[in-house]
Amino acid sequence: MAGSGGEPLLDLRRRDFIVLLGGAAAGWPLGAWAAAGHPRIGVLSISSAERDAGNLAAFRDGLQRLGYVEGQSVDIDYRFSNGNADALNGLARELLEGKPHVVLASAVSPTRAMNRVAPTLPIVCPAFSDSFVPSLAASFAHPGGSVTGIASDVEQLIGKLVELALDAIPGTSRIGFLSNPAGGSMARFEQQVRSTAKSHSVEVHTAQVAKADDLGGALQRLAAEKVQAVIVPANGLLISAQARIVELATALRLPLVFPTRQGVVAGGLASYGINPVESYRQAATYVVKILKGATPGELPIEFPTKIELVLNLKTAKALGLTIPSPLLDRADEMIE
């Protein structure tokens, strides 16, 4: 049987199906391409490929456990801004050209950038925070939009870094705080730090770091203001520059307190917070659910399964500090 143009009707139907499938992929509904079976995931990170290597390895491991192997049953496109928040919009548009079906966005800033260029595209963030509510998600229990993920700032963790500094260095009365003014969560982080510090009659000295070249001057100012510890919040720029921060702070004999273990491994004094590697592995579960047809807005924000305290005894010794025994007893890990 032939169509009106002389083509076999079967060929017309096949062509129409292919056109329909292409249109579905462009608009990100999942049903049509799921049957064809070769989804595409985009990854947008404000950090660097090197810094995110461990996290992304865990993400791929999580995918593989669920039957999605990169290069075989799923394609993954990566974009890294190397700490430059201004580059995120352009990188998000680049990712969009590949027609991803879901995007893993590493933090608040890349999530917002991706959502700006593709408001309906499903996004999973392994560092979901209160900064998403209500602009990108109605609530943790019922996100309602196109963004979901794993919570990062549970139990007011950034404020607890103040208490960790006080426990690690008894007698501390001045604490420094490195702040990237472009960070999507930075105002909330600083508010938590100041609130906790005030309750302990501790002064907070903030030094802004808008680019990596600002680090030297910022830490020198904090040293001149005689802070006894410096809190380094989770932020793409600061994570990318972690090794440099440790190097500069060590020369100035400034103890560093981080929200994740990676900062302590790099040479910081202490950390208390989630393990981002596990959050990325958890995030793979949400990505797969979305690839199989789940709606992000109907997936409640998950909370991390473990919060860990890590101490670097080698760093403490180099700084001439003796960490009190009660804190040592609470540690999940000690680096010697």
Looking up residue 229, the CATH number of its domain turns out to be: 3.40.50.2300
Assigned domain for 15 exists: no
The structure tokens listed for 249 are: 């702070």
Q: Are residues 122 and 74 in the same domain?
A: yes
- Reported as a single tens digit per residue, the pLDDT across 56-75 is 999 999 999 999 999 999 99
Q: Are residues 243 and 219 in the same domain?
A: yes
Instruction: Please check whether residue 215 is in contact with residue 244, taking contact to mean a CB–CB distance below 8 angstroms.
Output: yes
Give CA separation, 7 vs 4, 10, 17, 309, in Å. Answer: 7, 8, 15, 69
pLDDT computed for residue 306 by the predictor: 79
Q: Are residues 145 and 194 in the same domain?
A: no
Assigned domain for 19 exists: no
pLDDT computed for residue 32 by the predictor: 40
Q: How far apart are CA 29 and CA 21, in angstroms?
A: 10
Q: Which residues form the domain of 47?
A: 37-154+277-298
Q: Are residues 204 and 321 in the same domain?
A: yes
pLDDT computed for residue 192 by the predictor: 92
Q: Are residues 99 and 58 in the same domain?
A: yes
Instruction: Please check whether residue 88 is in contact with residue 237, taking contact to mean a CB–CB distance below 8 angstroms.
Output: no
Q: What is the mean pLDDT of each run of 10 residues along the chain (336 residues)?
A: 40 34 38 59 94 95 97 96 91 97 94 96 92 90 96 81 97 96 85 96 96 95 98 87 95 96 95 92 96 96 88 97 97 95
Assigned domain for 303 exists: no
Nearest to 45 by CA among 230, 235, 180: 235
Q: Are residues 161 and 207 in the same domain?
A: yes
Q: Are residues 326 and 224 in the same domain?
A: yes
Q: Are residues 96 and 131 in the same domain?
A: yes
Assigned domain for 82 exists: yes
Q: Are residues 45 and 87 in the same domain?
A: yes
Q: Are residues 107 and 63 in the same domain?
A: yes
Residue 48 φ/ψ, nearest 5 degrees:
-110, 165
Assigned domain for 205 exists: yes
pLDDT computed for residue 185 by the predictor: 80
Query: Where is 149: in which H helix or E strand?
Result: strand 147-151
Q: Are residues 186 and 168 in the same domain?
A: yes
Assigned domain for 6 exists: no
Assigned domain for 92 exists: yes
Instruction: Please check whether residue 208 is in contact with residue 176, taking contact to mean a CB–CB distance below 8 angstroms.
Output: no
pLDDT computed for residue 155 by the predictor: 66
Domain count, the chain: 2
Q: Are residues 73 and 90 in the same domain?
A: yes
Q: How far apart are CA 201 and CA 183, in angstroms?
A: 27
**CB-based contacts of 275, cutoff 8 Å, min separation 6:** 260, 261, 304, 306, 308
Assigned domain for 23 exists: no
Q: What is the reported pTM?
A: 0.77
**CB-based contacts of 140, cutoff 8 Å, min separation 6:** 128, 133, 151, 300, 301
Peptide bond into 233 cis (omega under 30): no
pLDDT computed for residue 182 by the predictor: 83
- Reported as a single tens digit per residue, the pLDDT across 195-250 is 999 999 999 999 999 998 999 999 999 999 999 999 999 887 888 899 999 999 99
**CB-based contacts of 230, cutoff 8 Å, min separation 6:** 175, 176, 177, 178, 219, 222, 249, 254, 255, 256, 257
